[in-house]
Amino acid sequence: ELKVEQNPLFLSMQEGKNYTIYCNYSTTSDRLYWYRQDPGKSLESLFVLLSNGAVKQEGRLMASLDTKARLSTLHITAAVHDLSATYFCAVTSTGNQFYFGTGTSLTVIP
């Protein structure tokens, strides 16, 4: 079974600081997703990474994918309070499902 691990699980960071969330997965996958979830809300798609070396940026978030290392990163630049949420990575394999990580709960403090 495909395993997806995220770290850290909890992240408290000051406004204006930079940080990176890591996502490792156990078997070959060519699609990696990052989602954001606010409390009581659904999953909001942030990025879809489809190939090795893919890098996508939106605002203060940048995601990258290294399929050889089975690693994706979500980099946060100059954090602001609005980024406080739980972030999930997910991968797909040959089946019909996403395999989600356990999530990283991010709190940005003034």
- For another protein (CB under 8 A), the number of binding residues is 23
Nearest-angstrom CA–CA distance, 79 and 66: 24
Nearest-angstrom CA–CA distance, 72 and 18: 17
Our CB check for another protein shows the closer of 73 and 77 to be 73
Nearest-angstrom CA–CA distance, 85 and 37: 6
Nearest-angstrom CA–CA distance, 53 and 85: 26
Interface positions, 30-69, toward another protein (CB under 8 A)? 31, 35, 40-45, 48, 50
Our CB check for another protein shows the closer of 14 and 27 to be 27
Site for another protein, rule CB under 8 A = 4, 31, 35, 40-45, 48, 50, 88, 90, 92, 95-103
